[in-house]
Structure 1
């Protein structure tokens, strides 16, 4: 799942967020069966998502060389061209960022790609949670960090409840934070679309 909270004193937010998690043990070698399966997987994942609804899961191969993958655009991406460009470029970008890795989670502000040598579809894994905070405009200083963090977590919990109850599995909104300084908290919460309704309620 993906969650974020941003605070801003203006409507302009410049997103500089990017994350890549690459496994570093048990790497595959060039020309191995796993690499062949992975190359086929990444090609079919991207093509399937571009042709479909910006989301795709698949697997290639059998046994220890089987590769499992998921790729998706964020439902709030809005710009179809930007989404498709991200889907098309993600496989090559991942291979460059994580050469030899058997498990990768990579994302930017438009799409997410994950693959592994172990099945993970519809399974919650806390290690793949993605969250980030960004500031816009002048740096915002809060006097009570504990109060601010509690407010932010309550806000994200509300987003999660709303996101789990709609077909796009997303919710984004803003609400004011009033303390020594006034600003808006912007947030978004997205569930992976292979999660069932009951899993989203947990």
Structure 2
């Protein structure tokens, strides 16, 4: 667990879990805010400054192709006012759903991190980052957090073993060099598995600026947090800016 965030307070986890109603329809209609970080080390910008103008240019530069692909990485301006805007939408939330999530993320970043040059926000269906640092095809090992269901399964040892195997299986699928769409690596996979009397549903995803090898390295990193996050839990997820995984005992993705 990165020291930048620390543990998510248990009441916050419980509050977020209230959104996780075991209904595919209701889950598809929600896009819960999960977490954000205002990066104070990159400084602040002034109203009307060149940096603010570059942020606005980056936001307006997102086009329909970006949202259909679920990923955007946009650079605007020159040093020292250069801006990088990155967003990645969940693998089942491309197109109009991606656009609405990114719009919400940009709006909330302005509210929660007013005039910060660096900031990140996570929702159920996307993440959005504004930064002064070019991180294209680089794994972010600094910004991560996790959420978990407060309730445990009955057979923790069996569940942990089978859940870990499912995550490895999905990783292999997501990082398969043949798993491509529109000449781009998909870097996303979802599936389900019967464990005891329960069916578990899971997904893994990397941002599309990564290549398959760096995506696999990112998964290896966040899977090390499984015991801290998800040991015997009925649902859990670890989210970074470069990759994430989630599992639940109910469907939470669109078909």
* Aligned match for 2:136, one of 108, 118, 121: 121
Mapped partners of 2:141, 2:38: distance in 1: 16
Structure 1 unaligned regions, length at least 5: 1-5
More displaced 10-residue stretch of structure 1: 184-193 or 21-30:
21-30
In structure 2, which of residues 32, 50, 55 is the aligned counterpart of residue 38 of structure 1?
55
Residue deviations 1:51-92, cap 9 Å, x none?
A: x533221111122321111123222126x4322322333322
**Shift in Å at residue 122 of structure 1?**
0.8
CA RMSD between the two structures:
3.0
Tell me the equivalent position of 1:55. 71
Residue in structure 2 matched with residue 156 of structure 1 by the alignment: 167
Bigger RCO (CA 8 Å, 6+ sep): 1
**1:107 is matched with which residue?**
122
- Does 2:37 match 1:28? no
Aligned partner of 2:103 among 63, 67, 88? 88
Over 3 Å counting, the alpha-carbon distance change for 1:17 and 1:95 in structure 2 is: closer
How far apart are 1:12 and its partner, in Å?
2.6
- Aligned residues between the structures: 185
Q: TM-score, normalised by structure 1?
A: 0.74
Q: Name the SS of the counterpart of 1:126 in structure 2.
A: coil
**TM-score, structure 2 normalization:** 0.61
1: distance between equivalents of 2:98 and 2:135? 23
CA distance in 1, matches of 2:155, 2:45: 48
Residues 1:38 and 1:103: Cα distance change in structure 2 (over 3 Å): same
